[in-house]
Amino acid sequence: MDFAMPIGFTIRVATPTDELTVSALLEASYTVLMQQDYDQDLLSAVLPKMTSASPELLRSGTYYVAENESGLIIGCGGWTRGRPGKGDVEDKLGHIRHFGTHPEWIGRAVGRSIYDVCERQAQSEGVTCFECYSSLNAEDFYAALGFVSVRRMDFPMGSHLTIPGVLMRCLI
């Protein structure tokens, strides 16, 4: 299913065949946008883990990509019922997952449009609150969507590696 957007792109459900292009998008996005808030040594260690598209998300039916008029993937993101890394499910709680926008498309409502699709789908499935593990640089983006910062925390990124971020929540 495609969702038409009035501003030069469409949104569709991602599929496993999008794995390489979503990974490339995440690398382009995170490499540029995270530089302002994170040390380069930390980024060198965590970006290879953070920029790999999740096959599980790509199969979920709740993960989306935005494509421009030329068919290039310019944004991605989704949601799940299960908490990232643990999979535990709480009634009426959804989790925003792995959002990214190509740096050339920042400020053109790509991320917001993907979020709106996620919110509508989650509401139709009984979700009333979203939780998000935000990077420091994305905190303002999520705040603009109505999320509030709950607390700063370190997110595990593998054996003995963490990255500082923010746990955020939003009623939907």
The answer to whether the CB of 153 falls within 8 A of the CB of 138 is: no
> Which structure tokens are listed for 119?
């919110």
**Domains of the chain, each with CATH number or no CATH:** 2-171 (3.40.630.30)
Q: What is the pLDDT of residues 118-160, one digit of tens each?
A: 999 999 999 999 999 999 999 999 999 999 999 999 999 887 8
> Which structure tokens are listed for 34?
């995270």
Looking at the chain, list the stretches that DSSP marks H as alpha helix, in order from N- to C-terminal side: 19-33, 40-50, 55-59, 110-124, 139-144
Cβ within 8 Å of residue 166, ≥6 positions away = 133, 134, 135, 136, 139, 149, 150, 151, 152, 153
pTM: 0.93
Q: What is the pLDDT of residues 71-109, one digit of tens each?
A: 999 999 999 999 988 889 999 999 999 999 999 999 999
Of the candidates 140, 63, 144, the residue with the CA atom closest to the CA atom of residue 99: 63
Query: What's the order of all strands across the beta sheet hosting 63-68?
Result: 2-4, 9-13, 63-68, 73-80, 93-101, 129-135, 162-171, 148-156
Q: State residue 160's pLDDT score.
A: 87
